[in-house]
C-alpha cells in the first residue's frame, strides 16, 4: 500500500484524448468533466439529466445506464462524433437510505419483493458500461483506460447499506476478475474508492451534520483528481486509489498481502492451486472476453 501525492501539476495532460464520463452531470463526475476539460481532453457526458452547470466544449447525451439501448447510443455517439474513445470514467451511481431487509408488506398483507435500483445502476449498468468500453477500445491499437467509481464501501461496509455495499464489492470483484484479460487488449482498468464526498448523493443537511461532528466530507474535486491520475498512468492496472479525508492511497496491494495470508502457499501450505490445478480450473471454467 502506498500513500500518493496527486496534484494537477504532477499528472499528464490529455490533449488529443476523448473521455466519456457516465454520471458526469453532478458531483464527482461533473468535477472530473471540468478537470479533464482543463487538462485538454474532449469530454462526453452520459447522464439522466444535463450537467448542473453549463460546460463549454463538453457534449452531453441523455443516457440511462440501466437501459442497454441508451448506453449503446452513448458509445455510438462518441465513436461517430470523435472516431476514438481513450478514457471511460464509469462513475454513474445511486445510494441513499435502504430498507431491503425490513418487512414491507403489500396491500394483500404479503411481503413485497424489494426493488434493487442500486444493483441495476451500480452493478448491471456498470458491467454494461465496461463491456461497451472494451468493445470500442479493443478495436484501437492504442487501447484505452477505464476508471470505475467504486467506494470505501467496496472494501468495508460498517456504515453503508447492504445493497450499496454489495454493488461496490461487485465493482471491485469485476476489476480483479478482468485483470488478466485486459493487458493483451492494451486496456487498463482501475477503481477509485471515495469516502464521504460532498455531492448530490449526500443531502446538504447530512453533510453539515457530519462536518459539525468533525468528519471530513471532502470536495468532489479531490476525488476527480484520482480519476484523472488513473486515466493517465500507463503503469496502473487493476489498482484502487482510496480517496478519504482528502488523501490518496493505493489499497489493492493491501488486499493482495491479506489474500496471501488467507489463501497463499506460504501460509501453512493451505493452497492447493498448483500449476496443474490452475490449468484444469481454467479449462473447466473457460472464460473469454
Ligand X SMILES: NC(=O)c1ccc[n+]([C@@H]2O[C@H](COP(=O)([O-])OP(=O)(O)OC[C@H]3O[C@@H](n4cnc5c(N)ncnc54)[C@H](O)[C@@H]3O)[C@@H](O)[C@H]2O)c1
Q: Which listed range, 32-40, 41-49, 255-263, 271-279, lies at the site for ligand X (CB under 6 A)?
A: 41-49
157 binds ligand X, rule: CB under 6 A: no
* Residue 33 CA: distances (Å) to CA of 53, 70, 219: 11, 20, 15
Q: Exactly one of 79, 98, 157, 200 binds ligand X (CB under 6 A); which one?
A: 200
Closest CB to ligand X among residues 42, 66: 66
Distance CA 147, CA 155 (A): 17
Selected catalytic residue, list 168, 236, 247, 266: 168
60 belongs to the catalytic site: no
Q: Exactly one of 128, 133, 190, 199 binds ligand X (CB under 6 A); which one?
A: 199
What dihedral angle (degrees, nearest 10) is formed by the CA atoms of 165, 170, 173, 179? -130
Q: Work out how close the CB of 235 gets to ligand X at its nearest, in angstroms, rounded to a whole number.
A: 24
Whether residue 251 contacts residue 190, with contact meaning beta carbons closer than 8 Å, is answered with: no
Site size toward ligand X, by CB under 6 A: 31
As a three-state string, the secondary structure of 150-191 is: CCHHHCCCCCCCHHHHHHHHHHHHHHHHHCCCCHHHCEEEEE
66 binds ligand X, rule: CB under 6 A: yes
168 belongs to the catalytic site: yes
Identify the CA nearest to 27 among candidates 218, 244, 249.
218
210 binds ligand X, rule: CB under 6 A: no
216-245 residues near ligand X, rule: CB under 6 A: 220
Q: Work out how close the CB of 260 gets to ligand X at its nearest, in angstroms, rounded to a whole number.
A: 27
Distance CA 47, CA 32 (A): 14
Distance CA 66, CA 205 (A): 29
Residues in Cβ contact with 60 at an 8 Å cutoff, skipping those fewer than 6 apart: 24, 25, 44, 45, 46, 47, 50, 51
Q: Exactly one of 92, 163, 224, 228 binds ligand X (CB under 6 A); which one?
A: 92
Closest CB to ligand X among residues 63, 240: 63
49 binds ligand X, rule: CB under 6 A: yes
Kindly list the residues in this chain that would bind ligand X in the complex (CB under 6 A).
22-23, 25-29, 47-49, 63-66, 91-95, 121, 125, 149, 151, 194, 196-197, 199-202, 220
Residues with active-site annotation = 164, 168
Amino acid at each position: 500500500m502506498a500513500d500518493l501525492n496527486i496534484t494537477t501539476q504532477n499528472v499528464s495532460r490529455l490533449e488529443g484524448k476523448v473521455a466519456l464520463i457516465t454520471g458526469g452531470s453532478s458531483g464527482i463526475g461533473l468535477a472530473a468533466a471540468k478537470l479533464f476539460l482543463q487538462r485538454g481532453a474532449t469530454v462526453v457526458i452520459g447522464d439522466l439529466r444535463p450537467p448542473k452547470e453549463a460546460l463549454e466544449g463538453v457534449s452531453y447525451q441523455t443516457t440511462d445506464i440501466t437501459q442497454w439501448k441508451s448506453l449503446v447510443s452513448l458509445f455510438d455517439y462518441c465513436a461517430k462524433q470523435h472516431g476514438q474513445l481513450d478514457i471511460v470514467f464509469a462513475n454513474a451511481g445511486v445510494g441513499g437510505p435502504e430498507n431491503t431487509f425490513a418487512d414491507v408488506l403489500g396491500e394483500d398483507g404479503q411481503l413485497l419483493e424489494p426493488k434493487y435500483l442500486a444493483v441495476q445502476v451500480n452493478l448491471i449498468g456498470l458491467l454494461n458500461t465496461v463491456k461497451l468500453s472494451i468493445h470500442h477500445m479493443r478495436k484501437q491499437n492504442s487501447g484505452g483506460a477505464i476508471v470505475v467509481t467504486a467506494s470505501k464501501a467496496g472494501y468495508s461496509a460498517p456504515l453503508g447499506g447492504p445493497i450499496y455495499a454489495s454493488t461496490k464489492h461487485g465493482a471491485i470483484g469485476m476489476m480483479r476478475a478482468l485483470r488478466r484479460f485486459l493487458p493483451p487488449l492494451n486496456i487498463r482498468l482501475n477503481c477509485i474508492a471515495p469516502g464521504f464526498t460532498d455531492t448530490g448523493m449526500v443531502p446538504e443537511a447530512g453533510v453539515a451534520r457530519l462536518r459539525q461532528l468533525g468528519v471530513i466530507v471532502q470536495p468532489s474535486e479531490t476525488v476527480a483528481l484520482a480519476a484523472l491520475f488513473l486515466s493517465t498512468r500507463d503503469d496502473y492496472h487493476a489498482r484502487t486509489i482510496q480517496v478519504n479525508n482528502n488523501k490518496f492511497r493505493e489499497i489493492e496491494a493491501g488486499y493482495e498481502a491479506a489474500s496471501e495470508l488467507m489463501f497463499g502457499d506460504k501460509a501453512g501450505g493451505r493452497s492447493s492451486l498448483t500449476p496443474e490445478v490452475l490449468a484444469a480450473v481454467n479449462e473447466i471454467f473457460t472464460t473469454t472476453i
